[in-house]
Amino acid sequence: MSNRILEVCGLSRIYGSGCPLCVESTGPENDTNICPHCGSVVAVHGVSFDLFRGEILGIIGESGSGKSSTVKMLYFDDTPTAGEAVFFDNGERHELFRQNAAQQRSLRNKRFGMVYQNPHLGLNFQVSAGGNIAERLLMSDLAHYGEIRRRAQELLLRTEVLPERMDQNPKTFSGGMQQRVQIAKALVTRPPLLFLDEVTTGLDLSVQAAILDLILEIQQELNTAMIVVTHDLGVIRLLAGRTLVMKHGRVVEAGLTDQILEDPQHAYTQRLVASSL
């Protein structure tokens, strides 16, 4: 049996009407992701990679390079204009972009998890922290009230949200605490694949460190495969075994994270690493 959990091939997303010249007129060589002929944005083009069970893959790159767009498509928040992705789960093969809406929803609710930079995207601010987690468990077909409450408590405890906070609204929480609730919510169904988009950006350094620790501990406990999007080299250094470097929608370099940081090959990666020293 292969260890592969995800295989992404030629993933692309163009915003706008598109024209035959979009791809050749954009990218790192042209130093833009906007087609000069039709004005469309080539947000992602030809992104291919694979991911193994329990592996953490980093995606790094400057603002607008297409990192978030890439994970959004895999989580079905957005639809690609081209490309394939196969998710391997319990011996089954799911072609992500050929599934109907119900199948996609089911994967999203039960087998994938997402933690957004913006807690408003991941949390429902109408209900309590515990309610947020219950919501996700209900969507994954768990209906027993006591069991839901127990699982929610367990996960909040695991992500170090104080028990008395369980029945409070996350609106009143600090940024770091909101991220913990998001992480608890994403993990409560024990998904084998988790996407994290800039989850520590904007938080205090000490809070960042605690959240990164938590992510790594959980990854070791649950063997969750993760795709970690960030523009912070320190985050991938601590979390990711392998890293993709993106620029203007393309992957310009991929490799072991320590190699990317200590022996970057592409001119862009060299600049990125040099500027962070």
Partner 1 sequence: MQPVLLVEGLAKEFFLHEQRKTIPSCSNVCLESRQGKLTAIVGPTGAGKSSVLKCIYRTYLPSAGRIMFRDRSGQSTDLARADEHQMLRLRQREVGFVTQFLNCLPRKSALDVVAEPLISAGVNRTAARTSAGDMLARLAVPERLWCVPPATFSGGEKQRVNLARGLISRPRLLLLDEPTASLDPGTTDLAVKLIETLKEDGVAMIAIFHQPDLVRRLADDVVELAPPMVVKDNNKECLS
The residue with tokens 């083009």 is 45
Q: Distance (Å, rounded) from C-alpha 110 to C-alpha 179? A: 20
Count interface residues toward ligand ATP (CB under 6 A).
Answer: 13
Report if residue 19 touches Zn ion, rule: CB under 5 A. Answer: yes
Q: How far apart are CA 277 and CA 56, in angstroms?
A: 23
For ligand ATP, which is the closer residue by CB, 65 or 257? 65
Under rule CB under 6 A, residue 15 binds ligand ATP: yes
Scan for tokens 């080299």, then name that residue.
233
Residue 8, strand partner residues: 49, 85
Residue 14 sits in the site that holds ligand ATP (CB under 6 A)? no
Nearer to ligand ATP, 231 or 237 (CB): 231
Nearer to ligand ATP, 69 or 182 (CB): 69
For residue 133, the SS3 value is: helix
The CA distance from 128 to 178, in Å, is 11
Residue among 114 and 184 whose Cβ is closer to ligand ATP:
114
In the set 27, 28, 58, 66, which binds ligand ATP (CB under 6 A)? 66
Q: Please, are residues 230 and 56 in contact by the beta-carbon 8 Å criterion?
A: no
43 makes contact, choosing from Mg ion, ligand ATP, Zn ion, none, with CB < 5 to 8 Å by partner type, with: ligand ATP
By CB under 5 A, is residue 35 in contact with Zn ion?
yes
Nearest C-alpha neighbor of 43 from the set 9, 8, 78:
78
Q: Binder to ligand ATP among 27, 58, 61, 119 (CB under 6 A)?
A: 61
237 binds Zn ion (CB under 5 A): no
Using CB under 5 A as the binding rule, the residues of this chain from 33 to 72 that contact Mg ion are: 68
Closest CA to 45 of 268, 256, 252, 259: 252
Q: Does 200 bind Mg ion (CB under 5 A)?
A: no
Sheet holding 82-89, edge to edge: 41-52, 4-15, 82-89, 92-95
CB closer to ligand ATP out of 180 and 250:
250
Can you give the binding site for Zn ion, defined by CB under 5 A?
19, 22, 35, 37-38, 40
